[in-house]
A and B are shown apart, each in its own frame.
Chain A
């Protein structure tokens, strides 16, 4: 955990939201707020990271996350190199470190890492020289901290405060690194009621220990919610006999206008993307007036700018 913070408590790497103090989360959100207007100006850039080289190291495919990291780095005036490294299941840790060493020899200042294996970003952060920082852009089922942060930013923008909210996370929590990061952030920021809703086969055993209320019935779980976060249902889960069919899933856990009506009238609907329309969410809801799914994407740029600016300011 200390790997993420300097001795004087500043952000050194961003690997997980688990254990990050509330003050740091709030500082990231506040800094992101200041970056919001950069995208609206004539010159959509600030000179903060001029001369820095940021490597997007993606061992797993991603469009949205990689693109928003790239835009964020460019708006900070950094040079960005994208590496999409097709990886086989046999890839060994040593091969990853060889890649990292080679890029460090090209004077990298920051690595943005997406990897299918939990812990990959930690592994790299342990290894790199003191002037290099690492951002976890999603590792296995473990964490996706910038997604969790942009979700908190979205909630704060639409709801103002955290201390009076009921937030439901719906769907495949078991396989979701996004859900884990969201739960850590929501509880740290003082949300009094965090609910997880899903079939038993898609909720991790012992999830209550993370400070959430568990519902297997979506109608009951959505009642009175201020924020409804839908998770992506990966189609491969169907094959593993965890679920009968996507139609069946949609019937019980898909978000329809009827089910959304059980939440508060001003509830917002979020989704980390990419969406499976007609599986976890109905198009009428995804495109409806309560959806903030596209603002989430826009806010993701400001939040990633904030994280990269804070990290670059700590390691130099």
Chain B
């Protein structure tokens, strides 16, 4: 199944088109490390956002810390703006259980009280374990639990999706 996944660039363009009418001057884009940041960078450029891009590493908020410990490569979160009263567009690459988004929202609220949070994902692969749904999805698939969809970035910056 899904022997070939679609090219990423048209998916991101489609996402940007869907998001554009909903943007407010107060909207900030926040990508979740690592793949979500790549997608967020593209959206940030396509949508011509004036405010800087935010990045979030949710390692300190994961609910599986007590089972698997600290991720060996934690990256700093960087939110170079005041969150108070902002509309946040949270961006991730693949939406699966919803646990990453839960952790990301908890982290965001430790920086301040945003006016709203909306979720944009490149791929919604189903399999949710929490009451979370995307506001924007580039691609919606149904993938069995033992398979993984991965976004990777080549040396030239090109993004590709793979199923394993």
Contacts and interface: CB of A to CB of B under 8 A. Distances in A.
A258 B77 CA distance: 42
B72 A27 contact: yes
A193 B57 CA distance: 36
Given A38-B60, A47-B61, A312-B69, 5 more contacts: A37-B76, A46-B61, A48-B60, A313-B68, A313-B70
B69 A313 contact: yes
Contact of A34 (B68, B69, B77, B112): B77
Given A34-B57, A316-B67, A316-B69, A45 B110 contact: yes
A316 B63 CA distance: 13
B37 to A, nearest CB: 14
A33 to B, nearest CB: 6
A314 interface: yes
Nearest to B76: A34
B76 A10 contact: no
Contacts of A314: 69
B76 to A, nearest CB: 5
A189 interface: no
A298 to B, nearest CB: 16
A74 to B, nearest CB: 14
A32 to B, nearest CB: 10
B69 A36 contact: no
Interface of B: 57, 59-61, 65-70, 72-78, 106-107, 109-112
B76 A36 contact: yes
Contact of A313 (B65, B106, B111): B65
Interface string A20-45: 00000001001101111110011101
For B68, B69, B72, the residue with the greatest tally of chain A CB atoms inside 10 Å of its CB is B69
Closest 5 CB pairs of A and B: A313-B69, A43-B110, A46-B60, A313-B70, A34-B74
B59 A34 contact: yes
Given A34-B75, A42-B112, A48-B60, A309 B70 contact: yes
A310 interface: yes
Given A313-B65, A316-B66, A46 B74 contact: no
Q: Which has the most chain B C-beta neighbours within 10 Å: A312, A313, A314?
A: A313
Nearest to B57: A34
Contacts of A38: 60
A33 B60 contact: no
A42 B106 CA distance: 13
A166 B111 CA distance: 40
Most buried by A among B57, B70, B75, B112: B70
A48 B65 contact: yes
B34 to A, nearest CB: 14
Contact of A46 (B72, B76, B110): B110
Nearest to A314: B69
A41 B76 contact: no
Contacts of A316: 65-67, 69
A42 B111 CA distance: 5
Contacts of A37: 76-78
